Structures are given as C-alpha cells and as structure tokens.
Amino acid sequence: MTLTELKQYYSNLLILQYRTKPNAVAFIQNIVLPALIDQVALAVQNAYNINPNFGNVAQGVQLDVIGKYVGAFRSANTINGFVTLDDSDFLKLINLAIIRNSAGSSLGDIDSALTAYFTGDIKVSDTADMSLVYTIVNTFGSSALQNVIIGNINSYEVDGVPYNGYLPKPMGVQISATIVPPGPQNYFAYATYTEPIGPGFTGFNSYQFLNPNSRWATYAI
C-alpha cells in the first residue's frame, strides 16, 4: 500500500459519526503519519532481503550490493567464457558465498549448511585423504551459474582482490566437483560380499564386457 492509502485506511477506522469530518480525518492521519514514515526503514530492509520466507526478495541492484558484501559477483570468467548471471542465478551464488564465508570446517557443518540452503542440489562427501568431493545436480540454476562455480572452484580475483572459490574449502583441503543429473544414472560403484550394487549404478568394466554408459561420479578440477 502507498502512504496515501495507509493514511486513508487508518482514518476509515473512525466511528461513523466522525468519518466524514475533515478535522477528525486530518487529526488521525497526522497522528499515524510518523509511524507510517518509520516503515520506510522496514521497506529498505525488505528490499535487501534474500530469504523468500521473510518478506520481499532482493533483486537487481540490491543483489549487486549484497554480492559485494559477501564476495559474489554477477559477471565472471568461466571455462566457457565471460558470463553475466540473471537474478535467479545470482541469488543462488550469493547464498553459496554466504555458506563459504560462514560454514565451519567440518564435513558436518558444510553439509548442514548446504542442505539448509540447497536441499539435495549440492552434496559433499569426504574421501578421507584431505579432499572433498562436491556433486551438483544439473538442474541447479543455469549452465552459466554452474560454469561460474566450477570455473572458479579454487579461487578468483576481482579488482585485484583475491577470493576463495564459491564452494566451501577448509584450509589445506583439496576439492573436486562435477555436474550430474538429478538421480543416479549408471555411476561407478563398488559392491561387497554383503552389499550388492544398487539400482542406477554399475561396477567394473572388463575385457569381456564394456558398458560405455558407466562413468565416474566425480572428476578433479
């Protein structure tokens, strides 16, 4: 509602005998005016909100401002050239940068933060050799966003200022990532004497049998 509409709303709350009295209407509108003006600060706050569960979501130049604070940038070099992200992709990148900046260094901390922001879209696993493996579903944003994340996996620089890559990376830990379809699709997997290979996975190829659709689930960048 506009300021005029809000003033009219409160003056309409007068009892019927005063509702048509100019002085009464002006009195009520003047009383509520300071409180309504105070909502300007709330409107500015909502304009920079990036949580869709609480009011409006920032867009355009508001996202650009937030991105500068968290170290996320709408335009970037990627493995496929220079790209500029739209608001939807840029909002995801900002949230990913926030996780990078604030998540703890344990696998549990990183996994919990990723799950809270991007349920099932980005998963992380520990290879137990000082490296983390990230799996990003190919429905997570556009290919431009995926290229920004993968192409800047270790670090990037903007105006001479260095930043760590967008995926959380504890000190001294190597990371790799891959873009995958939403569900398991013939990824390589081990079987044991007690646990068979699950649906959607395949095992070793051999000299007698080669399955060209069996591929590794991750690769190093």
What single string gives the DSSP state of each residue in 181-195? Answer: -SS--SEE----SSS
Interstrand relation of 161-164 and 155-158 (parallel, antiparallel or unpaired)? antiparallel
Q: How far apart are CA 132 and CA 153, in angstroms?
A: 12
What is the per-residue pLDDT for 218? 43
**Percent composition of the chain: helix, strand, coil (DSSP 3-state, to 5):** 40, 20, 45
Sequential pLDDT tens for the chain (221 residues): 677 887 888 888 898 888 889 999 998 888 888 777 766 766 777 788 887 666 668 889 999 999 999 999 999 988 788 999 999 999 999 999 999 999 888 888 999 999 888 888 898 888 888 888 898 988 899 999 999 998 888 888 888 888 989 999 988 889 988 887 765 555 566 666 666 555 556 665 555 555 555 554 443 33
Q: How far apart are CA 28 and CA 64, in angstroms?
A: 40
What is the per-residue pLDDT for 65? 93
What is the per-residue pLDDT for 221? 39
Interstrand relation of 201-202 and 187-188 (parallel, antiparallel or unpaired)? parallel
pTM over 0.75: no
What is the per-residue pLDDT for 120? 81
**Where in the chain does DSSP place strands (E)?**
75-78, 81-84, 122-126, 131-137, 155-158, 161-164, 174-180, 187-188, 201-202
Domain positions in the chain are 3-37, 61-183, 184-221
